[in-house]
Amino acid sequence: MKTTVERLFTEQVEAAMTEIKFSDAKNQINGASGRNYTKVNQLLLISAQSENKYESNEWLSKEQAANLNLEVKKGKGTMLFNTNIKVDLENTYTDRETGEIKPYKIKSYNYYYVFNLDQLEQIEKIEEKKGA
């Protein structure tokens, strides 16, 4: 029951968020891909940026940061959400309008954490530490 309520709530929030327009100056972007985050995640990141007084609007996962030789220097990550739609080929239904047999689509929800560039710092190379 709880999962169904959470799913319905999330779907309603996502639908409502499609009507909200964010100014380009506030767009939160992924620092590795350069892509804008989706509406719900935009709202979460704008809130985190404002609350923590981050100057940057760029965010990275720990893995993306590590690939850029960066590490988290302070603070916790901001939790974001995504959905995946998987086609279930084993379960089908008949479309009432067309009579066509179609596979069910299963929507799953996942979460992950990102860090603002202001939370990250360059990892010192081992050679630099030895020479110091």
In a domain, 130, yes or no: no
In sequence order, what are the beta bridge partners of 30?
A: 59
Residue at 132 is within a domain: no
Beta bridge partners of 121: 71
Let me know if residue 27 belongs to a domain: yes
Pair 36, 27: CB distance under 8 Å = yes
* pLDDT at 130 (0 to 100): 52
- Residue 120 contacts residue 72 (beta carbons within 8 Å): yes
Profile the chain (132 residues) by mean pLDDT over runs of 10 residues: 70 70 74 91 91 94 95 92 88 92 88 96 67 54
Rg of the chain's alpha carbons, rounded to an integer? 20
Domain assignment present for residue 82? The answer is: yes
127/132 Cα distance (integer angstroms): 9
Looking at the domain assignment, is residue 126 inside a domain? no
Q: Is residue 49 part of a domain?
A: yes
Give pLDDT, residue 74.
84
Whether residue 124 is contained in a domain is answered as no
- Looking at the structure of the chain, the number of domains it has is 1
Closest by Cα among 39, 81, 38, 62 to 119: 62
What pLDDT, on the 0 to 100 scale, is given for residue 116? 97
Task: Show the domain range for 28.
Answer: 2-118
Whether residue 25 lies inside any domain: the answer is yes
